[in-house]
């Protein structure tokens, strides 16, 4: 098969094919193997009680979802240059980003969105990093950064 020429800007390819899948894998690792630290990173109050079996199971399921997102983004998007596929998956991931951000309200209240003093390593991954991803997805879906010559490809998507 001859190599495809991509109309996708390098910034999006780097973010969606490399950086973000690696970040999702790191989140999966923490949600499954470092559950206490993960929970402390997404709440404004620390718990010294440890993680119970039900919470542990839920966090392991969350880790599986992070793994799914990482694989879908890295492998599905890497397998095609079809902008319709990219737009569909990016839109689905954008919806998941908003759901993930909204879920943090229950853990830390509305302050978790702007109180950087409460963020640790996991907190930085859960809030501002997601803001960057949301901004990149919105920009991608809006066609920001695409060359005028790729307008035909965008119109097909």
What is the per-residue pLDDT for 112? Answer: 74
25, 53 contact by CB (below 8 A): no
Quickly tell me which residue has 């097909």 as its tokens.
156
How far apart CA 136 and CA 132 sit, in angstroms, is: 6
Of 57-66, 72-81, 99-108, 113-122, which range is least confident? 113-122
Q: Is 143 left (phi over 0), alpha (psi -120 to 50) or beta?
A: left
* Dihedral in degrees, nearest 10, Cα atoms 27, 28, 30, 36: 110
More confident position, 35 or 123: 35
What confidence score (pLDDT) does residue 151 get? 46
pLDDT confidence tier of residue 104, bands split at 50, 70 and 90:
confident
pLDDT of 6 reads 67
Contact call for residues 2 and 138 (beta carbons, < 8 A) = no
Distances from the Cα of 146 to the Cα of 17, 20, 154, angstroms: 17, 20, 8
Q: Does pLDDT of 42 surpass 80?
A: no
Q: What is the CA radius of gyration of the chain?
A: 17
Asked whether 23 and 100 are in contact (CB, 8 A), the reply is no
Largest Cα–Cα separation, the chain: 58
Q: Which of 69-83, 104-118, 140-154 has the highest mean pLDDT?
A: 69-83
Categorize the per-residue pLDDT at 126 as very low, low, confident or very high, splitting at 50, 70 and 90: confident
């Amino acid at each position: 098969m001859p190599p495809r020429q991509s109309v996708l800007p390098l910034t999006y390819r780097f973010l969606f094919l490399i950086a973000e899948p690696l970040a999702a894998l790191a989140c999966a690792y923490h949600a499954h193997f470092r559950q206490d630290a993960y929970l402390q990173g997404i709440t404004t109050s620390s718990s010294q009680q440890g993680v119970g079996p039900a919470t542990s199971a839920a966090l392991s399921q969350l880790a599986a979802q992070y793994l799914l997102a990482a694989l879908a983004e890295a492998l599905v998007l890497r397998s095609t240059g079809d902008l319709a596929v990219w737009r569909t998956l990016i839109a689905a991931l954008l919806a998941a980003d908003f759901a993930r951000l909204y879920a943090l309200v229950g853990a830390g209240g509305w302050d978790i969105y702007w109180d950087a003093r409460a963020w640790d390593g996991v907190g930085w991954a859960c809030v501002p990093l997601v803001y960057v991803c949301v901004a990149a997805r919105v920009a991608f879906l809006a066609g920001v950064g695409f060359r005028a010559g790729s307008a035909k490809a965008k119109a097909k998507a």
